Structure 1
Amino acid sequence: MTRTRGRIAALLGAVAVAVGTTLATPAAGFAATAAAGPAGAGGGGITGRAPCRDAPEFVCGTLAVPLDHGGRTPGTLDLAVAMTGNAHAPKGDLLFLTGGPGQPGVPTIERMASRLEPVLKDYRLVMFDQRGTGRGALRCPGLQEDMGSSDLALPRKQSIADCAAALGPDARFYSTADTVADIDLLRRALGDHRLTLDGVSYGTFVAERYALAHPGHVARLVLDSVAPPQGFDPLDLAALPATARVLRDACLATGCTTDPAEDLAATVHRYGNGAQILSALTGYEFIDPDYGAVPEILHEAAAGRPAKLQDFFDLVHREVDAAPAEELSQGLHSATLCADSRFPWGTTDTPVADRAAALERTRQRLTPEQTWPYDAATATGIGSLLVCLDWPREQVPPAPSEHRKLPDVPVLLLGGDRDISTPYEVLQQVAGMAHDPQIVIVPGAAHSVQNRAANPAGRQAVYDFLLK
């Protein structure tokens, strides 16, 4: 470790982070892989059921689904599925949906079963590796190296081009609409009329899209760290101003004596590195939801001493963002977001040559009120946005109307007041789409409340909601 890294380690304290640790894997042969087959093939039952290789208390198997649910392109995908053994649980199946897009489900069933243990007498927990994740991950080595597990890290143009070329025209079969169709085949394979869905981060988006597409097949919804069903905002205009609130609240709680929001604004103005700071902060919230080292780092950078800020970037990239495709596939992440999202230039069906000018027009229209303590260049310089700026043109699935409401079923919306990635301002917007939502904001919690919050209030709210 260099002397500068030693200073940052002393400032931040010992850090031991396990991101996407594999806790259970299916037995050999349960990987998600593409296989040749007739158009429309797949969609049968869950085959090869057996104890999971590394966690035999759970049952693993494979669900075959069509590569193309429209039936025009041949091929199938084998998706790994894992579940608890209580097949006849009185409240049916609880499908937990992981985040990303790009995270698998099967490797984390042991962890999620421990988090949800109080409800598992009433529910069978089911998890699956969404298409393009886990052992069937879409692999883009350059993009994986550049971005790891980050949504926001800045990729090289060559990495984007190489990824798009590697995935080819089949990239269009990895949208959320395809995953929603997979879930309905999974529901039928499980023998369910209705599913209870518990999603975190991108998993909330999948759960909402499933509920809108199949309202009669949803019993309850738990939405943790909520994304809107219309899609992620590629400019992140909720997270930008929310950063000031989060950092000031954390500063107040920890007794810091500076104004981290003002220092952040001064740092962005001085160095023009807002997108890099936003990426680092959204990663660092997994290490420390109090952002304890951040005010000092920003204060020094604002004063023209950026050494600790650079060490901070290095730390987050090394300890949080670095991840192999099996833990979070950046190939899948890119294919899905580029298919799902609505950008300043429209959709990915817009000619590539027309996109940069549209993005620049948007940058010029953004106001300080929309972006402070960052700037307009931050909003238009986010990594996932830049991936899709250069992504090849393709047809994209239609998005639901922003005026559609979620089905009239019980909905719990869960968030942390220290979450920058999906700030609770977004949660409150989505609550307006539910008929009678229950809202729980957990003090001191950052992203992924059920998994990571020290405060147990969020998990208890989930137990109470599911056991009603």
Structure 2
Amino acid sequence: MADNVRAAKGVLVFLTGGPGQPGVPFVARLSQKLAPVLKDYRLVMIDQRGTGANALKCPKLQEEMGSSDLTPPSAKAVTDCAAAIGPDRRFYSTGDTVADLETLRRALGVGKMTLDGVSYGTYTAERYALAHPQHVARLVLDSVVPQTGYDPMDRAALRAAPRVLTAACRATGCRTDPAADLAEVVKRYDNGVDVLDALTTWEFVDPDYAAVIDALHKAANGDPGPLRSLITSVRQGSAATAEELSQGLHASTLCLDGRYPWGRSNAPVAGRREALEKAGAQLTPADYGPFDAATATGLGSLLACLDWPRTPAPPLPSEHRRLPGVPVLLLGGDRDLSTPLEWLYDQKKLTPRARVVVVPGAAHSVQNRAAGDKGRQAVFDFLLGRH
């Protein structure tokens, strides 16, 4: 936690992503990023339960998935992780984090808080606002996960990939057709999960996707070597410790929060795979775009919850309740595949006082990572009430 001596506009709670990422290690960095507003706000950050110094540790699952949402884990790594956490795994839902935030608010002695969430942090902020509307002053939602929840088949990202790659290609003057190359590569090599995993990781490296676009073109024309090398390097570069991003917490939270083809976390394990196969058979190209049904049903977070032991499911808020009528900034980058813009516009439908800012050329986590200042300036203006 960090604060400032004067805080005319109250408390600003910054919520990091994952789930599984801590907050406290980023206090210094975020204090610099948010410096223009910290004369008026007291900055507060927390490590969500199960993260940071108290991270849930699952060595094999951590080794297999690193910082990725999409790398498929082995069933044994998943079940060993759940066994290591034990019955307490039922206490790591987003609802539990929301309750922790309310405890924090009371400890701070404030009536209202402004919440600034990135990625999964936006979902946490939305859930807090739905549960405690009278205690929210403003919301900044950067790289939006809608309050309706994460789609375990990631269909919005599958469909958005051609749009994102084509925009990146045009901006950089490349002379290929990355959308066509992507479709050909998935069809020829049956590697949709690996490609999507590489794409959603590469946006943190280069939101122009230049190396990926080049590798896709070569693979589409019969030379898969560069793409395979890129996928391997992405996997190696995604390594992360549990303290950096806990995959044990990631699985615990997503499996409790999620709605899956087999139901929720309290569904019997027997029958889940059959339900997933049935759901996959019903998918069409309108669902998965240039990818295929095997991609939609083979993503890491989905498979982790397929094998996660039966666990009591916490209640979830009504999907279509609108956020309270407080000022809300919806911020996104048009190159984001981790939380594609389609999710931002889904949330806009449920946000009465939404201000939308889309930053061209930016990918995931606009405040932290965008090269230009358009997104950050929009946050400053919003928090200081200039717009």
Name the TM-score class by shorter chain: over 0.9
User: In 2, distance between residues paired with 1:410 and 1:98?
Assistant: 20
Tell me what 1:99 maps to.
17
Task: Report if the CA contact (8 A) 2:4-2:41 is conserved.
Answer: no
The partner residue of 2:78 within 138, 160, 178 is 160
Deviation of 1:365 after TM superposition, in Å, equals 0.5
| Matching residue's letter, 2:52 | G
Partner of 2:370: 453
- Whether the aligned pair in 2 keeps the contact of 1:230 and 1:399 (CA below 8 Å) is no
| Distance of 1:295 and 1:146 partners within structure 2 | 26
Aligned twin of 1:124? 42
Question: Cα deviations across residues 346-396 of structure 1 (Å, max 9, x unaligned)?
Answer: 101110011101100111110012111111110000000000001001111
Q: Given the alignment of the two structures, is residue 201 of structure 1 paired with residue 113 of structure 2, yes or no?
A: no
Q: Pick from 342, 348, 351 the counterpart of residue 425 of structure 1.
A: 342
Q: Does 1:335 align with 2:260?
A: no
- The 8 Å contact of residues 155 and 383 in structure 1, kept in 2 or not, is answered as yes
Partner residue, 2:29: 111
Take 2:177 and 2:287, find their aligned partners in 1: how far apart are those partners? 20
From 179, 189, 207, the equivalent of 2:97 is 179
Q: Deviations over 1:85-111 (max 9, x none)?
A: 32x411110000000000000000000
Q: Which amino acid aligns with 2:160?
A: A
Distance 1:331 1:304 in 2: 39
TM, length-normalised to structure 2: 0.98
Higher helix share: 2
- 2:313 aligned residue: 396
- Who is 1:223 aligned against? 141
Which residue number corresponds to residue 176 of structure 2? 258
Q: For 1:421, what is the secondary structure of its paired residue?
A: coil
Is 428-437 or 209-218 further displaced after alignment?
428-437
* Aligned mates of 2:148, 2:268 — CA distance in 1: 22
Task: Output the CA distance in 2 between the equivalents of 1:455 and 1:399.
Answer: 37
Counterpart selection for 1:372 from 289, 294, 311: 289
Equivalent in 233, 236, 241 of residue 315 of structure 1: 233
In the other structure, the counterpart of 1:44 is: none
Q: Which residue of the other structure, out of 204, 217, 225, is the alignment partner of 1:299?
A: 217
Aligned counterparts of 1:399 and 1:277: Cα–Cα separation in 2: 32
Q: For 1:466 and 1:296, locate their aligned partners in 2 and report how far apart those are by CA, in whole Å.
A: 40
Aligned to 2:54: 136
Q: Which residue matches 1:212?
A: 130
CA contact under 8 A between 2:4 and 2:39: conserved in structure 1?
A: no
CA contact under 8 A between 2:327 and 2:353: conserved in structure 1? Answer: yes
Residues of 1 paired with 2:40 and 2:30: CA distance?
15
Q: Which residue of structure 2 lines up, in the alignment, with residue 438 of structure 1?
A: 355
Distance 2:182 2:262 in 1: 29
> Contact conserved, 1:204 with 1:223, CA < 8 A, in 2?
yes
Could you tell me which residue of structure 2 aligns to residue 349 of structure 1?
266
1:267 aligns with 2:185: yes
**Could you tell me which residue of structure 2 aligns to residue 85 of structure 1?**
4
The structure 1 segments of at least 4 consecutive aligned residues displaced by more than 4 Å after TM superposition are none
Matched-pair contact (CA < 8 Å) for 2:137–2:327: yes
1:325 aligns with 2:238: no
Residues 105-135 of structure 1: per-residue CA shift (max 9 Å, x gap): 0000000010100000000000010000001
Q: Is the 8 A contact 1:444 1:455 kept in 2?
A: no
Between 1:294-303 and 1:419-428, the stretch displaced more is 294-303
Larger relative contact order (CA 8 Å, sep ≥ 6) = 2
SS at the partner of 1:263?
Answer: helix
RMSD: 0.8
> How big is the shift at 1:154?
1.2
Q: How many residues align?
A: 385
Partners of 2:47 and 2:334 in 1: how far apart? 29
- After superposition, give the CA deviation of every residue in 1:317-365 in whole Å (9 maximum; x if it has no partner): 222x111000000000000000000001110111001110110011111
Give the corresponding residue for 1:33. Answer: none
- Name the SS of the counterpart of 1:289 in structure 2: coil
**Could you tell me which amino acid in structure 2 is paired with residue 279 of structure 1?**
D
Which ranges of structure 2 fall in alignment gaps of 5 or more residues?
none
- C-alpha separation between the residues in 1 aligned to 2:29 and 2:214? 35
Q: CA deviation at 1:226?
A: 0.1
Give, as a single letter, the amino acid of the residue that structure 2 aligns with 1:452: R
Alpha-carbon contact 2:18-2:245 (below 8 Å) kept? yes
8 Å contact kept, 1:283–1:316: yes
Tell me the residue number matched to 1:235. 153
Distance in 1 between residues matched to 2:195 and 2:379, nearest whole Å: 33
- 2:353 aligned counterpart, secondary structure: coil
State the Cα distance separating 1:219 from its structure 2 match. Answer: 0.3
Q: 1:409 maps to what in 2?
A: 326
Shift of 1:304: 2.4
Q: Distance in 2 between matches of 1:423 and 1:455?
A: 19
2:148 is matched by which residue type in structure 1? Q
Post-superposition Cα deviations, 1:404-463, rounded to whole Å, max 9, x if no partner, equal: 000010000000000001011110110111112100000100000000000210000000
**Contact persistence 2:192–2:291 (CA under 8 A):** yes
CA deviation digits over 1:139-183, x for unaligned, max 9? Answer: 000010011110001111211111011011100100100000000
Q: Which has the larger radius of gyration?
A: 1
